[in-house]
Amino acid sequence: QVQLVESGGGSVQARGSLRLSCAASKNTFSTYYIGWFRQAPGKEREGVAAIGVNGRTTYADSVKGRFTISRDNIGNTLYLQMNRLEPEDTAMYYCAAGSVPYYVLPPLREADFGYWGQGTQVTVSS
């Protein structure tokens, strides 16, 4: 069973930065691809970034060049460094893991992730 616990959310002004963390149960990264999703009020949940077992990464177009996903394999922690934040980035951010077979890059589709954390809120003010 995979357990995921997010932290690091908060309030920040536009163009500021935040780093989200996701503590994962042991050996998660060697078995599952893992990623970040977000859901704004009134909108569907969308994929933000994912990292595969082999370290390859996938990003949503809206965050490319601003967000960076990384992981600490020893500490079993996933990170999302978010720079140049915009009010449109305001959302609940979720950490998720999955194991559906994929080709080259990890997926970023909600249906391909079976384990989810509880989320951490990010609010960006203009």
Q: What was the pLDDT predicted at 1?
A: 86
**Burial letters for 79-101: b for 16+ Cβ neighbours within 10 Å, e otherwise?**
bbebeebeeebbbbbbbbbbeee
What residues contact residue 19 under an 8 Å CB cut-off, 6+ apart?
8, 79, 80, 81, 82
- Render pLDDT for 22-76 as a digit per residue (tens, 0 to 9): 999 999 999 999 999 999 999 999 999 999 999 999 999 999 999 999 999 999 9
- Render pLDDT for 87-103 as a digit per residue (tens, 0 to 9): 999 999 999 999 988 88
DSSP code at position 88: G
Rg (CA), the chain: 13
Give the dihedral of Cα atoms 85, 91, 95, 96; nearest 10 deg.
-120
Decide: helix, strand or coil at residue 16.
coil
Calculate ∠ Cα 25-26-31, nearest 5°.
95
